[in-house]
Structure 1
Amino acid sequence: MSLDIQIYNIKMTDSSTMDEMVTLPVLTTAPPDNDDDRYYKIAEDLFIAVSPIILIVGLVGNILTLVVMNRPSHRSSSVSIYLSTLAISDSLVLILDFINNWFKMNLDIKLLEMDETFCKFHRCFFDAVFTTSSWLILAVSIERFIAVWFPLKAKRLCTIKTARITCCVLPLLALACYAHRVPGWHLDKTGRCNTHPKHRNFQEIYVPWLSAVLYSYGPIVMLIVFNGLIVFRLKKMASKRDAMTSNDKSSSQERRITITIVVICVAFILLTLPLALFYIFQFAMGEFFDQRPTTALAETIVLILGLSNHAVNFFLYVMSSAGFRAEVRRVVCFCRTPTRNQTSNVNSTDKSFSTERISVENISAKVS
């Protein structure tokens, strides 16, 4: 399952695309006003307008996440390793999708058709990257499950070393799963990045199901199970915590981290499930290439939802974690120029320190 939009290979006035499996009629009379053309136009305009916003917002949020997660207060946590890697993976997804779909639609720059190596690289690496993002969310969810249900074992299993190893192994596994993309795609006689004739049946019939399982179906099922157990355990622990008179700061912090991870998992399910269901429906109905206008518009909408999943995590952290919000404020204030009040406070502090030092010197002189 790839996030490449099929309808954007359609150009009504480009004679080089007459061999496309989907073609729109070339109208020689009045401007197009039928429903088919209108749906295609809405889909194209919607993606051109929304995609840059998702890219900019997502990159800024992911960069801030990397900065916050590498500050001293978060650096010692294994969760920060997962979320930092997730921010990098999400940023790559946004960038690779943007330079393919948006460049092709708005600037008529088809990067995948310029070089066969890039065609193979994009088809393999892009799928591996966005699959890695879902596996990272699953990995951190499993860690929270262990921390909540088996706190004694968590000290041995949920370590920074384990997180680093996991974050290195997951991308390699994803690349191995999508290695078949390299021989499966090439530049055909018309110069399009297309499936290789020898591998066409496998790439167009079985690969979409494989990608859907790896990217969405498999992680979603496991996320529902693990997070359901986490929520059940948190509710059970909440009743016991209310009965306790002492305030355990460490357990409270672990609970806040767990809640944040649960929120991320719920957002992932809500934003990616429509995309996976849509592509499976397309292949089951035989409409992946021969799309109806309404199907093309629906594809754009679910694609925007899927891309949003890689841009909203920063805001989920801000919404669900007071500690993360505090760190963001510190980062923003550190980059901001001191105000007049802050400068006056610093000057007054320096003056008081100087006065105190002079007084100490005078006392010492009198004693001597």
Structure 2
Amino acid sequence: MTLEETTTSMPGEINDVDALTNGTDSNTEFNGTDQNISRFINNRGPAYWYFNVITVVLGLVGNFMIFPLLGGVKFSSLSFPVYLRFLAFSDCPVLMIFCIKESLRYFQSSYLIGSNLAVCTLTKFIKNTTTTLSPWLVVGLTLDRFYCVVFPLKRDRICTRRKATIVCSCLTGFSVVLSLPLLNGVKTVPGSQICFIKDYLVSYSTFIRMVLTANLPCLLILVLNIVIGIHIQRSVTFRKRFTSTSSGSTENKLDKSLLPLMLISIMAFVTLLPSSIADSVVLILLVTKSDFKTLTFIFKLWPVFNILYLMNFGQNFYILMASSANYRKIIKTKLKCQNVNGRNNNDTVSRTPGQVSAFVNFRTYINESSTRQSEQHSQTSVTSPTLGSDDCCTDFTEITK
């Protein structure tokens, strides 16, 4: 759910918090301004669509690369790979739905979703579930790092793979339950390309979007990261005073290992915050029906907010690669292993005929040698005429076999 989806009076939109102003009187209230907003939304040009597709493709590639990156034995007992894999799995549907929707709008084919109630309902359900789940998974990851840093003695008991799986599963179930009302809460307008959320769910959907999907997760991520940063700074200061240089350097390495995961949390906050603030401002302006110039200005900036919002769903792999030489080394090793395995398979296949031919030549050499020895034996043997060459050759050949 994005900035544009908090409005209802935009022709040709596929909204999620539609009917915010009940979709009836709002059209007359917003006449004039609505035309400008609609023009900014629908006439974005090819540049925005290209950026949208590039962001989605890069995000999908990054999400797929998370699985081989964190699939090694060294990560099997850690908790944070569970959160990152859940994030990669849940973020892919968001990227694909956004790309499909923007492509349909760009090619003026929005009716394929907007006029089909079943497709529109399924799309909204999946999108609402995953957009609600993603920021809360980041909150879970940040809370996991919070316990590791602030309560290191409890780390082995709390920050486990099993408990991380339980937390992610509970968050997934929570997001699904919140989106269940949408399965029977979507309606279509005859003769239009828009599907709306029913009137009785408008307040509920607005609350989920404004509080549970945006503002509350951002606030928790911000507070937890501030506390983690303060605690790390205090720990560094304490070690400088009361520990030796060698032990301090070891602890600094441990602190540096937190950097990639903290950056993932911080960048999630940075990419979610602009759209969260913009959605809140638009909601207030639409409810109060005031300051339409500000509303129009926000919609001018909407493409930038949307691209930034999409980056949140595909940036984790690239953050790990940019912030840690260890992760870069791991992915290079895995790619090299795949190349080496491929060459080994080819070498095995290519050597097989040579081995067979060498074995055949060796058997032929032995048979010829045994034949010559039997002929020499038959010529020089006088005392044992009953021992024929055929018997000698047969016995030697059986031994060689």
What is the TM-score with the length of structure 2 in the denominator?
A: 0.70
Deviation at 1:146, TM superposition (A): 0.7
Matched, 1:267 2:270: no
Out of 321, 324, 331, the position equivalent to 1:318 is 321
Partner of 1:217: 215
Deviation at 1:278, TM superposition (A): 1.1
Asked if the contact 1:282/1:288 (under 8 Å) is kept, the reply is: no
Partner of 2:199: 200
Deviation at 1:117, TM superposition (A): 2.0
Matched, 1:298 2:301: yes
Q: Deviations over 1:128-149 (max 9, x none)?
A: 1012110111001111111111
Partner of 2:330: 327
Deviation at 1:314, TM superposition (A): 1.3
Trace 1:158-307 onto structure 2 (pairs within 5 A).
158-190=159-191, 192-195=193-196, 199-200=198-199, 202-203=201-202, 205-242=203-240, 243-247=243-247, 254-286=254-286, 294-307=297-310
CA distance in 2, matches of 1:91, 1:123: 15
What is the TM-score with the length of structure 1 in the denominator?
A: 0.76
CA distance in 1, matches of 2:68, 2:43: 38
State which structure, 1 or 2, has the greater radius of gyration over its C-alpha atoms.
Answer: 2
Report SS of the residue matched to 1:286: helix
Asked if the contact 2:129/2:179 (under 8 Å) is kept, the reply is: yes
Asked if the contact 2:12/2:110 (under 8 Å) is kept, the reply is: no
CA distance in 2, matches of 1:89, 1:47: 24
Residue-pair matches, total: 322
Partner of 1:154: 155
* Structure 2 residue identity aligned to 1:227: N
Asked if the contact 1:69/1:80 (under 8 Å) is kept, the reply is: yes
Asked if the contact 1:43/1:297 (under 8 Å) is kept, the reply is: no
Asked if the contact 2:42/2:105 (under 8 Å) is kept, the reply is: no
Out of 308, 311, 314, the position equivalent to 2:311 is 308
**Aligned sequence identity (%):** 20
Which ranges of structure 1 fall in alignment gaps of 5 or more residues? 11-18, 26-34, 341-368
Change (3 A) 1:327 1:333: same
CA distance in 1, matches of 2:234, 2:206: 40
Report SS of the residue matched to 1:179: helix
Which ranges of structure 2 fall in alignment gaps of 5 or more residues? 14-23, 344-401
Asked if the contact 2:260/2:320 (under 8 Å) is kept, the reply is: yes
CA distance in 2, matches of 1:168, 1:250: 35
* Structure 1 residue identity aligned to 2:132: T
Q: Which moved more, 1:142-151 or 1:312-321?
A: 312-321
Asked if the contact 2:56/2:314 (under 8 Å) is kept, the reply is: yes
CA distance in 1, matches of 2:150, 2:302: 40
Partner of 2:370: none
Change (3 A) 1:193 1:179: farther
Report SS of the residue matched to 1:186: strand
Change (3 A) 1:337 1:24: farther
CA distance in 1, matches of 2:58, 2:288: 30
Report SS of the residue matched to 2:258: helix
Deviation at 1:100, TM superposition (A): 2.0
Change (3 A) 1:155 1:223: same
* Structure 2 residue identity aligned to 1:120: T
Change (3 A) 1:251 1:70: farther
Q: Deviations over 1:199-233 (max 9, x none)?
A: 41541x45224312111211111111111110111
Change (3 A) 1:76 1:84: same
Deviation at 1:113, TM superposition (A): 2.8
Change (3 A) 1:54 1:302: same
Matched, 1:84 2:82: no
CA distance in 2, matches of 1:275, 1:288: 20
Deviation at 1:195, TM superposition (A): 2.8
Trace 1:62-77 onto structure 2 (pairs within 5 A).
62-77=63-78
CA distance in 1, matches of 2:254, 2:163: 18
CA distance in 2, matches of 1:317, 1:141: 15
* Structure 2 residue identity aligned to 1:296: F
CA distance in 2, matches of 1:232, 1:200: 46
Deviation at 1:39, TM superposition (A): 4.6
Q: Deviations over 1:13-41 (max 9, x none)?
A: xxxxxx9958999xxxxxxxxx9898557
Asked if the contact 2:69/2:331 (under 8 Å) is kept, the reply is: yes
Asked if the contact 1:113/1:187 (under 8 Å) is kept, the reply is: yes
* Structure 1 residue identity aligned to 2:145: R
Partner of 2:369: none
Asked if the contact 2:278/2:298 (under 8 Å) is kept, the reply is: no
Q: Which moved more, 1:156-165 or 1:178-187?
A: 178-187
Partner of 2:104: 103
* Structure 1 residue identity aligned to 2:54: I
RMSD: 3.5
Partner of 1:352: none
